[in-house]
Amino acid sequence: MAPDFWDNPEKAQEQLRKVASIKSWVEAYDEVRKAVDEVTLMPEFIAEGLASEEEAEQAYAKAADLIESLELRNMLSGEEDKMGAIVDINAGAGGTEALDWASMLLRMYQRWCEAHGYKVKMLDFQEGDEVGVKSCTLEVEGDFAYGYRKSENGVHRLVRLSPFNANNKRQTTFASVAVTPAVDDTIEVVVNPANIEWETFRSSGAGGQNVNKVETAARLRYHFRDEQTGEEISYVVENQETRSQLMNKENAMRILRSKLYQYELEKRRATQQAIEADKKKIEWGSQIRSYVLDDRRVKDHRTGHQTTDCDGVLDGDLDAFIKAYLMQYGG
């Protein structure tokens, strides 16, 4: 390491991140190579009585899983894919049923993150009037969190025999999910202070008397006109993560920067799927995935991938859907 390496802390941290990224690729490749070598030697081990056919099958399955994991990671080649993720969940049409559906999606994502070693922070939580969740914002921390979570962008449709209906009637409801990269200080995003409006309010979450009686929660409104497209763009960000109004404002600004980064990212790609600028109504016909519980079927309408294991999916088993999305749409 050069003697003046830490003279510029920001550049030093950026360099260390690059080194860590390269190291993780090398370690993943070495793990695959060792697993493949073990599979290659299995016939000889079986012949010499040093291994059973069952052990050979297990070694093959392990190698196949490691190769598939590396292939999926190789598809996450975008600059933003390696970042953390900001996940917004909003209940749509359907009343109480929709509020419950939003809470089910929240649990599904929390379980997936838990199973894959990602840390989840609740940045904002608006509880439903009777049950469930009106809206919430999560931050998923860890390498490639955005790359793996971006497949969830869109409207999710639930069909089931409603437990909230006295006649157990079959009901359809919706919730929207928006995923944006969690940008940090190494990503340059221009925010015009003149376009910002601040409001403070009392937190609705748990946290003691200070949270509920003092206006510690922060609401940020940001409005601007895109000079290239002429489109009027507005964002509203709420944060009540901490008991400090200042920290909540800082967190709201960080989320805004993530949303602005995502907006520019989508514009560069010239797609119609800009996450925050998406004006689709949360209703029939705009969904990306349907969860038809009474028919035991979950189907992704973009890739065609489907499964009958509804309970597994709602418990966080989303890997097959993520793989199908990345295989079709790439990084």
pLDDT digits (tens, 9 = 90+) for 204-252: 754 444 445 678 899 999 999 988 788 899 999 999 888 889 999 999 9
Determine how many CB atoms are found less than 10 A away from the CB of residue 26. Answer: 10
Per-residue pLDDT band for 185 (boundaries 50, 70, 90) equals low
Query: Does the pLDDT value for residue 271 go beyond 60?
Result: no
Q: pLDDT tens digit string along 306-325? A: 999 999 999 999 999 999 99
DSSP-based three-state secondary structure for 262: helix
CA 212 vs. chain centroid, Å, equals 29
Mean pLDDT of 252-275: 74
Identity at 280, one-letter amino acid code = K
Q: How far apart are CA 126 and CA 236, in angstroms?
A: 14
**CA separation for the pair 272, 270 (Å, rounded):** 7
Q: What is the pTM of this model?
A: 0.69
